[in-house]
Structure 1
Amino acid sequence: MFKNTVVKIPSESYVSGLTTSDLGKPILEKALVQHQAYIEALIKCGTEVTVLSSNIEFPDSTFVEDTAVLTPRFAVISNPGALSRNGEIHEMETVIKSYYETIYYIQAPGTLDGGDILQIEDHFYIGISARTNLDGAEQLKRILESQGYKGTIVHLEKVFHLKTGITYLGDQTIVVAGEFIDHPDFNSYQKIIVPPEEEYAANCIRVNDYVIIPAGFPVTKQRINEAGYETIELEMSEFRKQDGGLSCLSLRF
């Protein structure tokens, strides 16, 4: 059950942020409308939303998930793998200190993005990606295991972040796409399989009584509904252009 969420408004510099996509330049005005709808969805899900002001210095800072890993008892401040994003953690540290007394830190040369961390109950899966290196992953694994959690390091082959292709909905059920459909680390879970043409929809988020999904992916929506989950659809076009998904836009705890 999530009580709190933290989001950050996209700044004027957002349109110049990092991306590997070829979907065109985002339209800021449209992104702001979509972001407001995201906030309203989090409120509908029953969370108290902390909305941070935009920061033109960090174009990608609306993707707050990458700055931290949060558990019920402690927080871990990450060390983002993109140098241009590293300073985002300092502003987020102040926010997190208002909620947590126990805080750990990923230290250089280790790098870690929160988008590479998937929690399934007491088990954390840590993706090795272009943004999270083995040093950072091993640091987080040690921290988690010292606190009684399990940690598994997963080497990614194609996806940008681990949570680009997999989501945990609760009840031992995962939404999976691409390389994770038959991945041995996830074979013990019930799977909702995303078809290849809808892979973007694998990044959805369960927030209390709802699963928030990107709009425009009817097969995935139907499969999630048929599994017994109520969905909220949100337009995500302007965040998809910058490699962003639904999970990227908030910290949930």
Structure 2
Amino acid sequence: MITQAIVRKPCNAIIKALTTSDMGPPNYQAALSQHTAYIAALRDCGLDVIELPADESFPDSTFVEDVALLTPQCAILTRPGAPSRTEEVVTMAPVIQEYYESIEIIDAPGMLDAGDILLAEEHYYIGLSTRTNRSGAEQLINILARYGMTASIVCLDSVLHLKTGIGYLDNGDILTSGEFIDKPEFTAFHQIPLPEDEAAAANSLYINGTVLMPDGYPKAQAIIEAKGYPVKTIDISEFEKIDGGISCLSLRF
């Protein structure tokens, strides 16, 4: 059961965050408001939320998920693939040390964004992307193996991160979209394919019985609810402008 989450307040520099979208820069005040609502949603799901202050040195730093993988046995500090984000790990390390005794590190030349890591049925899937290379993935596989956990590599075609287009729920149910529909690595699960025009909703979180999903995807919401899952929607439209999704904004453990 997940009991805690770490989040970081968006900084003013968020308007300079990395993005592949053409939606324009985020509105800082609106992003703050949406982030506050996101925290409230995590608390509604029963999580104790650790709130970190904004860090103006790193425009993307509100996307805390990428800088660490928190497992039941250990924490792994990653090495983000975007050069402007590499040092975010340094600022997160002391926070992680408060909650974990066993901490591992991904070293150069490895690159690893935790947005490329999906836990499903106690197995970790690692996407090879522009932000995660084979060295980073193989280092992670070796680390997890030392703690009795398993992982495997998934090659990505077009999405930024693995979890951009896929999300694990519960009881073998997995949300899929785009290139992940019928992808061999995930055919053993009960796939819940989402419409192409609502593919972004695949980045949803199952937390203690509730699915947190982005607002604005009514078809996807109806599909998930029809499977028997309670759904809570959150407006993250300002973060979507900078390639952000529901999972990106927190570290959960």
> What TM-score range do you get, normalising by the shorter chain?
over 0.9
Which residue matches 1:214? 214
Residue 37, structure 1, aligned to residue 25, structure 2? no
Which residue matches 2:75? 75
CA distance in 1, matches of 2:218, 2:142: 40
User: How far is the alpha carbon of 1:121 from its aligned partner?
Assistant: 2.6
Which residue matches 2:233? 233
Q: TM-score, normalised by structure 1?
A: 0.99
Per mean C-alpha deviation after superposition, the further-off stretch among 230-239 and 142-151 is 142-151
- Matching residue's letter, 2:202: A
Which residues of structure 2 form unaligned runs of 5+? none
Tell me which stretches of 4 or more aligned residues in structure 1 moved more than 4 Å. none
The CA deviation string for residues 107-159 of structure 1, in whole angstroms up to 9 with x for no partner, is 01100001000011321000000000010000001111222111110110011
CA distance in 2, matches of 1:74, 1:177: 30
Q: TM-score, normalised by structure 2?
A: 0.99
CA distance in 1, matches of 2:158, 2:172: 24
Which residue matches 1:150? 150
User: How far is the alpha carbon of 1:161 from its aligned partner?
Assistant: 0.1
Q: Is the 8 A contact 2:73 2:147 kept in 1?
A: no
CA distance in 1, matches of 2:101, 2:131: 27
User: How far is the alpha carbon of 1:215 from its aligned partner?
Assistant: 0.7
- Matching residue's letter, 1:243: D
Percentage identity across paired residues of the two chains: 49
Alignment RMSD (CA, Å): 0.7
Residue 180, structure 1, aligned to residue 161, structure 2? no
Which residue matches 1:60? 60
The CA deviation string for residues 173-223 of structure 1, in whole angstroms up to 9 with x for no partner, is 101100101100000001111100001111111111210011111111011
Provide the aligned length of Structure 1 versus Structure 2: 253
Which residue matches 1:202? 202
Which residues of structure 1 form unaligned runs of 5+? none
Which residue matches 1:141? 141
CA distance in 1, matches of 2:145, 2:184: 21
CA distance in 1, matches of 2:211, 2:190: 16
CA distance in 2, matches of 1:209, 1:41: 13
